[in-house]
Amino acid sequence: MSERELHVISNGKLAWKEMAAIAIQIHPYVTAIHIREKNKPMDEVFMGVQYLLEQGIPARILCINGYPWMATAAGLGGLHLPESSPQLLTIMESYQSAHRTGVSVHSTEEAVKRESEGADYVLYGHIFATGSKLGVEPRGLEQLGNVARHVTIPVIAIGGITPAKVRSVLAAGASGIAVMSGIWEADDPVETVKAYIRELQQEETRGERLEAYE
């Protein structure tokens, strides 16, 4: 069984100095730290990425959302794109890099399409009710399971996922989870990350035992 993934996505509320202070503590434990700053100008985002790198955040851990050129220019480990993005082949031909590329999706059909285009993973949600999506019905575990059954690439679940809900999300078929404010706004971000990791690892260990028994 492949290692379970934990993606931490910036929430657009922190100054770069605050983000760096937390990122430097949590990066050894996570799969990726996504820089998702939709309300900041592009130039500021690029300077912010450079600042994070200067503070010691490894480039391989950083994933930029929405700027293919930035992933290439800064040598980042990841590029994440919104569902509205054009075909991945077009983007990849323009910006050659070794980064891992993921796409946000909100349906099984879109997940299948993005896999066929060459996406390395899809981000699907929101799974549970969350403050960032007030009034929007969550998609839930059943729809998450349907997406996971129709693709072979990892499905990363997002939306209202607390440590207590990790196992149900993995049981539905997700390969990992993504968290935003639950980590950045935690009283102790490192301990919160470790709580998520414990749940991810326990489910992974359980799956390995079942595979060995079979």
Catalytic residue among 7, 27, 126, 150: 126
83 phi and psi angles, rounded to 5 deg: -60, -30
Contact status, residue 156 vs residue 175, Cβ threshold 8 Å: yes
pTM for the model: 0.91
pLDDT along the chain (214 residues), means of 10: 86 97 98 97 98 98 96 95 91 79 97 97 93 76 98 97 97 97 96 97 59 46
Contact status, residue 114 vs residue 147, Cβ threshold 8 Å: no
The answer to whether 80 is a known catalytic residue is no
DSSP state, 118? Answer: T
Taking the C-alpha atoms of residue 127 and residue 176, their distance in angstroms, rounded to an integer, is: 13
Taking the C-alpha atoms of residue 198 and residue 74, their distance in angstroms, rounded to an integer, is: 32
Contact status, residue 76 vs residue 62, Cβ threshold 8 Å: yes
What is the per-residue pLDDT across 98-129, written as a single tens digit (0 to 9) for each?
789 999 999 999 999 999 999 999 999 999 98
